[in-house]
Copies of this chain bind each other. A is one copy, B any other.
Amino acid sequence: MEIKALKDLLPYCLENCTKKTLAVIKAEDDHTLTAVARARKEGAIEAVLIGDAPVIKNLLAQIGEKEEDYHIIDEAGEREAILKAIELVHAGEVDFLMKGLLETKNLMSAIVAKTSGMRTGRLMSKFDFVEIAQYHKLIALTDSALNTKPDVEAKKQIIQNALDVMYSVGIQKPKIAVLAASETLNQKLQESADAWKLKQMWENGEFTDCYLEGPISIDLALEKESVEIKNYQSPVGGDADMLVCPDLVSGNMMGKMMTICGGRAAGIIVGAKVPIVLMSRAAEIDDKFQSIILGAIASQKGA
């Protein structure tokens, strides 16, 4: 089957992946637990809940879940909960992680620490699948949350991270749009020069099993009408699978605007030893659920 929408992730996961185990760090958050419970009941995952055990058990009861269906680990301290989760990863007892009731920066600083053993030698980056009613398939967006001003080498790794996820969900030869404000190279603008260099790398065979175009504007990447009006020639034009953002602030603004305009999103951190499900506190429960399923699929790779 082909993944065209977020709702396709679950059947794809059930059909193609063995059941994975998720560890939730500081799990005492009702929205997070509701999303985790749904993924468990759908048969996609088992879950280890790390945090304030009495609060977690109380919340589970409130959402109609039995505590016996989960492995609950009592670590009320934030730092202890993070370290416990990392320990479980190294022991091979869990396949991926999820942020519960804690600040992203606290979690990520512990994860990126050299002593954590969570590094792979590759840059970590955020990967989002965004779904908007006006586009004919999912849009992969990267990196809108982790690397503030990636240089061209960092962007190369960000793209490679994203390609791994796209292959894991069965997308063949993804079409990558390295965004700028225009399709014309302007060496004075970093995003334009970077996009041009990445296209050269692609032409030199440094990215395989994909198409890559850049610099390219967002309308040429996503809108067939703009492609026709400008008579733009590229396999990526109007049919992009992946949008590579110039920097964090532009990706953050554009990505959030898609959800403000009614879009939905699933997001994970990739490039660490295991995927990390990481959605903002304000994200809807269904988006958190879809992110868990995406994390389960992406964690299959190392299996």
Interface residues of A (CB under 8 A from B): 132-135, 148, 179-181, 188-189, 191, 217-219, 222-223, 225-226, 229-230, 245-250, 252-254, 256-258, 260-263, 281-282
Contact = CB atoms under 8 A, between A and B. Distances in A.
A123 B282 CA distance: 38
Contacts of A217: 252, 256
B261 A218 contact: no
B225 A282 contact: yes
A246 B245 CA distance: 14
A148 B187 CA distance: 13
A260 B225 contact: no
Given A132-B260, A223-B260, A252 B282 contact: no
B258 A226 contact: no
Contacts of A132: 260-261
Contact of A261 (B226, B253, B258): B258
Contacts of A219: 256, 260, 282
A65 to B, nearest CB: 24
A260 B134 contact: yes
Contacts of A249: 179-181, 189, 191, 246, 250
